[in-house]
Structure 1
Amino acid sequence: MKKKNWRLFLAGTFIAALLVLIISPPSKAQAAASHTPVVFVHGLGGSDSNFLYIQSYLRSQGWSSDEMFAIDLPSKQGDQRLNSAAIASLVDQVIQNTGSSKVNIVAHSMGGANSLYYILNRNGGDKVGKLITLGGANRLTTSTAPEGVQVISIYSTSDTIVSPYLSILNGAHNIRVTGVSHIGLIFNSGVNRLISETLAE
């Protein structure tokens, strides 16, 4: 009888633990795993560290560090062919490592033009869900948002480095902000909220 009771106790404990796992809501870390991975692309003279503030904000919103990847581009002068090849390599690596079918890209300044070049000329359109540009020099690559990719161009009327004209694309969701400098676009709390909301849509 004692062995039978012990077996019943173990079985009951196992079932109870299983029910807790099934019924309990996912933790913040588990919920974060559902985010589409984000690749951050910097502009001229920049580096992967340019996005530390944005990444910190996204972590505060439930994002995991394992879902965010910043690239240090090989050409700090913005060479389209070199940089688009590097973006293509990182995107493929992220997709392979995360199991996601696509990534979202957040790009600043010339990083917007480089990302568009990647999408249009290196078969990136099938691997990118959203492209969010911040003061992007987008028209150096194209005047029209590529089909199949949701493009959000956040630009500032106070940007004295990249003209708003260069940022605005036909067919994109162009969002105008005011009072934010070109560099400020990667450090502004209001822009951070726009990025977070857009990624979550």
Structure 2
Amino acid sequence: MQRHKRRIATAASAMTASLLLSLPLTASPAHAASHDPIVFVHGISSSASTWDDWVADFEADGYSSSQLFAWSYDWTQSNATTARQLATEVKTVLAKTGAAKVDLVVHSMGALSGRYYLKNLGGTAYVDHFVSTAGVNHGTSVASLCGWLYTSCEEMETDSSFLKALNSGDETPGSVAYAAYWSNCDAAIDPDSSAELSGASDVGVGCVSHENMNNDHGVYEQVRAFLG
């Protein structure tokens, strides 16, 4: 009888161990929660949907959909106005997620509102990483084609008062980690060096078009590594 009871106990112990091994591990959700939420800012003549590929990539790499915020705004308005709206968006994201800071990932003209927010609106207190992809950080000759139509485009002209003020002094203020990714065959950024930022990690990604800079998977992998 005692031997029979020991056999039952042994079998039960083995079954319990097997069930425990089959349970899903909880490390993944804990790891996902450790990420800063990301706010994506598009450029001129664009919308939040321009980030669809990267949002999917981040989700595949462990981010949850509730940590990824592709934001749309009126791209014709002044980048200063957009920056004030971005400040509100960041506070909304922090309230939703309970995070202390966000990462800002921007494309093209989105770099201007993002940098204005950091420099002039106290954004450095709420941003951990700032990533500029094909950012019009020092203007572009191409902006002359639309500067007479839109305030936002006029501000991208190389000698605009907006850019002179934005780039005066420290281009990478605060304790934010900055990175600027640029291409040597970006037809929208002229000259190519305009996409660089003094004080940032400036990364040449090779020949990637302006339109593909924020959906190219190779660029994504570098951005993902930078965000840690």
Q: TM-score, normalised by structure 1?
A: 0.83
Inter-partner Cα distance in structure 2 for 1:191 and 1:70: 18
**Structure 2 counterparts to residues 1-201 of structure 1, below 5 A:** 25-74=25-74, 76-77=75-76, 79-139=78-138, 140=163, 141-142=166-167, 144-163=171-190, 164-200=192-228
Query: 1:51, CA displacement in angstroms?
Result: 0.3
Query: 1:26, CA displacement in angstroms?
Result: 2.3
> Which amino acid in structure 1 is aligned with residue 219 of structure 2?
V
Higher mean Cα deviation, 140-149 or 93-102? 140-149
User: Can you give the 5+ residue segments of structure 1 that lack an aligned partner in the other structure?
Assistant: 1-15
CA contact (8 A) 1:105 1:131 kept: yes
SS for the counterpart of 1:69 is strand
Runs of 4+ in 1 over 6 A off after TM superposition: none
Q: Which residue of 2 aligns with 1:11?
A: none
Deviations 1:4-27 (A, max 9, x none): xxxxxxxxxxxx9xxx7xxx8424
SS for the counterpart of 1:91 is helix
> Which amino acid in structure 2 is aligned with residue 199 of structure 1?
L
User: Can you give the 5+ residue segments of structure 2 that lack an aligned partner in the other structure?
Assistant: 1-15, 139-162
SS for the counterpart of 1:154 is strand
CA contact (8 A) 1:44 1:78 kept: no
> Which amino acid in structure 1 is aligned with residue 29 of structure 2?
A
Deviations 1:74-125 (A, max 9, x none): 2x13512210011101100111111111100000000011100011111101
SS for the counterpart of 1:183 is coil
Q: Which has the larger radius of gyration?
A: 2
Higher mean Cα deviation, 169-178 or 156-165? 156-165
> Which amino acid in structure 1 is aligned with residue 26 of structure 2?
P
CA RMSD of aligned residues (A): 1.8
Inter-partner Cα distance in structure 2 for 1:84 and 1:34: 27
Inter-partner Cα distance in structure 2 for 1:64 and 1:97: 13
Q: TM-score, normalised by structure 2?
A: 0.74
Inter-partner Cα distance in structure 2 for 1:196 and 1:49: 19
Identity %, equivalent residues = 29
CA contact (8 A) 1:110 1:136 kept: yes
Number of aligned residue pairs: give it.
Answer: 179
CA contact (8 A) 1:78 1:110 kept: no
